Chains A and B, each alone.
Chain A
Amino acid sequence: MRSFDTLHIAFSSLYLQYADVLLSYGYGLGYEKEDIEDAMQDVFFNLYSKNPSLGGISNIKFYLFYGLKNRLLNSARNKRVGKIVDIEEVDFVTEVSISDEMIADEESRAIKERVEKGLAQLTSRQREAIYLRYINELEYDDIARLLNMTKPSVRNLVFRALKEMRENMPDVPLFSLILMI
């Protein structure tokens, strides 16, 4: 028989490692801390009860993100029975902050402002894609599945998002990007 102890230790460290990242993603999707925690519990427990050896899972981070999003959408659907609410319509939240290593000087405040402005003009999907790609460094395949899109259209989405954000940058000679296309 498999040793339960070893598995418990493995799952506990998995939980500690990803708790904050999952909280952030759940928050971005527009949920409260308590709901996110509940959903996380279910995701980890399901994994434990069905596939404790993590067989066939090559990217655990994506797996957890995917499970969390499904859980959250599901519980939201159940809560809103009777009301017609398009959950996909919910805006992806991106709250920009200055990282700890950076000194909160004029320069870093300017960067924060630029990113904020850039993100603000994107669509919800673009924001989510940028968040998944550049903050969480997920692969395009994974983002495609999280957004329920094809890989080419995700690339396109990210590309357009970057282009739009880029236009917010100071002194822009546009032609170099145009050449790229």
Chain B
Amino acid sequence: MNKFEDSFDDKQLHELMEDLSSVRINDFKFTEEEKRRGLERLQKRMRRYDWWKVGRCWAVAASVLVVVAIGGWMYVNRMDGGSEQEFVARVVPADNDILLTMNDGFTMNLHDKSELVCSADGGISVDCDEWNIALSDEETGTAGNDEAGMVDNKMYTLVVPDGKRTSVRLADGSRLWINSGSEVEFPACFNGKERCIKVNGEIYIEVAHDADKPFRVRTAGFDVKVLGTKFGITAYRYSETANVVLAEGAVAVESPNNETISLSPSQLLTFSGGTFNIEKVDPYTYISWKDDLLYFNGTPISEVLQRLSHQYAVNISCSTSVAKERLYGKLVLEEHIEDVLDNLSVISSINYTVKDNKIIVDN
């Protein structure tokens, strides 16, 4: 079936086949020396990569040691702080990677802060490495349709666990930042009348303008419809409240009871327990996480710690007396939570200690 040319009962064609099998085309070879050098180069790179991986294991081992040491010290200096508030990371990952899944079952693990780029032809690349290889297995069924085998219905699901973040450039050029503990579903290309993605969690998106193809972000509670704009969405399925903040442009939010709410720039829409509320805010403070920054303007420390617990995938507990303290200013999301807490203890009156993989905050 596959070799349709076998079915030809044609003398000339058979001769042609014979001709083709008896000649060589582009018969180029590396010299032995070139091959040896190439192989050495590859082996060197593989070895370096191995070391880097082993190095990462050591880093983990080292941080465990630190935790044990501080934990022991804590035991001696224990102060009983009475009632405590506790923030538990939703997904405790340790080495849980960001996971990219395609609807044909292909999956791939990604590093923290990986950058994904969807190309217009349905491929995807990660950190500039073209990696669309295993991603177009299915035959698209559009038999006879010439050339441009437009790949339909390829969907990617990106699961970003707590402690990780990532960004995606969608096939239409829109840019999407995905915060910790979120899940986003998006197609390889936007072929329909609308560009549509699904979000459970927190994202910031800069939608590429296309008047003919409105962009729609679906969440469990509401849809956001736009033509071209910049906005952030926080809509975790587990959470009672969700919000949309608009940085530029205009969006229409379609609530579950079919109300359409229009937002203008700098407006924050909050859904909570079936009702909604609009207020004027500095939108950047809601989306600054994409630039590794958190802004606070009288935010209770309990909220800040809640946020950090998700951002770094650690469990944090704090005494109620600290919880109410309010925070002003900005906090850089350093690579390690300890550095962030060090900074936090400078701008507020808190102290922190690490015990059994848990961080305890008090004053």
A interface, CB within 8 angstroms of B: 4, 7-8, 11-12, 15-16, 19-20, 23-25, 27-28, 33, 37, 40-42, 44-46, 48-50, 56-57, 63, 66-67, 70-71, 74, 93-99, 102, 108, 111-112, 114-115, 118-119, 130-131, 134-135, 139-141, 144-145, 148-153, 155, 158-159, 162, 165-166, 169, 172, 176-177, 180
Contacts and interface: CB of A to CB of B under 8 A. Distances in A.
B22 A99 contact: yes
Nearest to B36: A16
A135 B20 contact: yes
A31 to B, nearest CB: 11
A97 B42 contact: no
Nearest to B143: A152
A177 B29 contact: no
B18 to A, nearest CB: 8
A159 B77 CA distance: 82
Contacts of A23: 28-30
Interface in B137-160: 139-140, 142-149
A64 B186 CA distance: 28
A25 B27 CA distance: 9
Given A67-B130, A139-B2, A172 B12 contact: yes
The 4 closest A-B pairs by CB, nearest first: A70-B130, A24-B26, A150-B149, A169-B12
B38 A37 contact: yes
Chain B interface secondary structure, helix, strand, loop or mixed? Answer: mixed
Contacts of B328: none
Contact of B121 (A8, A48, A148): A148
Main secondary structure of the interface of A (DSSP, over half): helix
B12 A115 contact: no
A57 B106 CA distance: 11
7 contacts: A48-B46, A66-B133, A115-B25, A153-B147, A165-B16, A166-B13, A176-B10
B16 A149 contact: no
A135 B8 CA distance: 19
Contacts of A177: 8, 10, 12-13
B171 to A, nearest CB: 15
Interface in B12-45: 12-13, 15-17, 19-30, 34-35, 38-39, 41-43, 45
Contacts of A56: 106, 134
Contacts of A148: 121, 147-149
A114 B23 CA distance: 10
B108 interface: yes
Given A19-B30, A48-B46, A176-B9, A153 B4 contact: no
B25 A155 contact: no
B13 A11 contact: no
Nearest to B5: A162
B23 A111 contact: yes
A39 to B, nearest CB: 10
Q: Which of A11, A145, A150 has the most CB of B within 10 A?
A: A150
A26 to B, nearest CB: 9
A150 B143 contact: yes
B73 interface: no
A131 B26 contact: yes
Nearest to B18: A111
A172 to B, nearest CB: 6
Given A27-B26, A108-B22, A180 B8 contact: yes
Given A15-B38, A50-B131, A150-B140, A111 B19 contact: yes
Contacts of B133: 63, 66-67, 70
B11 to A, nearest CB: 8
A2 to B, nearest CB: 10
